[in-house]
Homo-oligomer: A and B are copies of this chain.
């Protein structure tokens, strides 16, 4: 049986196969970039048409009450919560990942300062973390409020000394897909007196996470942020989410104290009084059109279920590796060998990764390139087929064999890749 035949048999037996029809995907395209921008749920355009024509157009300002726009950030946050092992009131949709990082890093520093008089100012992360995570630490550093410390993965636990206020890590690495042991790192941070903030951008919606229960019998994660436009399929630049463990709600204090995070926004008081719990993470008015689109994506992922998605994700990537092997392709895998040690992607190092990626795109196999030399293939399990794996491996084999990627047209880099 050829790999393509095997793939078709796997698709026929796949309990998630039916969900592909719930996305509006272009004909003939194999989309391996759902970890950068998730696909369009079929319900989203109708939902937004309704929000625009009925809620905004007909009911205008009244929709803040009648369509409950005012609770949309909490409602969608509450739906994301079970996907990441949180309670509904611990998660809220707001702003972007970057802005939420700033809020939660600031909150962590303030909490630590109340304990020790601002001795702990270090935010510890790893070099090569997703850039915005580091840039937001550097923003606080410019303000004189934090010190960035970077340690390689295997040196992080040793770097957790008495100066570390917060450990900020991205659970699944955007480039390599390597996954941290959330339990071990969370426990190590806590044992060292540090708080921990997990960036779940490449995690949420692709696999289950147990923020609250990650350390058996002990306190779980303190904070988390995550992206709405990858595995949650919320659309380009979809708003992000933020998690704060309930035990920190009362002490939570963050400097982006806008009116929507006030206890009574419509009292129009001159003095800021924080709203209860995670509501105080709201700053300005939420972009309702974008949050409504996110809700459609989240509902669909919740319906499929993250446990099933994760199971299929691992099966897809392992099958893809078999297909590569069968096609005689040997590539330098930078993702972990073991499926449960990585996220929903496989990344390969190749000195011509950019051109390789472009040559695949020309064949309607859409992966992406991550500078300087990584070809990244994402396996969004909600809408990909085993057949896509077999065909991608075949395409990659042909592109490599016939030197197609060496064409001039694939050498020039576009603005965004």
Contacts and interface: CB of A to CB of B under 8 A. Distances in A.
Contacts of A29: 60
Contacts of A255: 102, 139-140, 142-143
Contacts of A106: 143
Interface string A271-288: 110000000000111111
Contacts of A284: 95-99, 132, 237, 240
Interface string A383-417: 00000000000000000000000000000001111
Interface string A39-80: 110001100110011011111111111000110000000000
Given A52-B48, A95-B99, A128 B270 contact: yes
Nearest to A102: B256
B65 A266 contact: no
Contacts of A135: 257-259, 261-262, 272
B56 A272 contact: no
A385 B36 CA distance: 47
A257 B133 CA distance: 10
Interface stretch (A4-12, A336-344, A366-374): A366-374
A379 to B, nearest CB: 15
Contact of A371 (B60, B65, B266): B266
A188 to B, nearest CB: 23
Contacts of A151: none
Interface of A: 24-26, 29, 31, 33, 36-37, 39-40, 44-45, 48-49, 52-53, 55-65, 69-70, 95-99, 102, 106, 110, 127-132, 134-136, 138-140, 142-145, 150, 175, 229, 235-240, 253-262, 265-272, 283-291, 293, 361, 366, 368, 370-371, 414-417
8 contacts: A26-B60, A45-B53, A95-B284, A97-B284, A140-B255, A143-B145, A144-B145, A287-B289
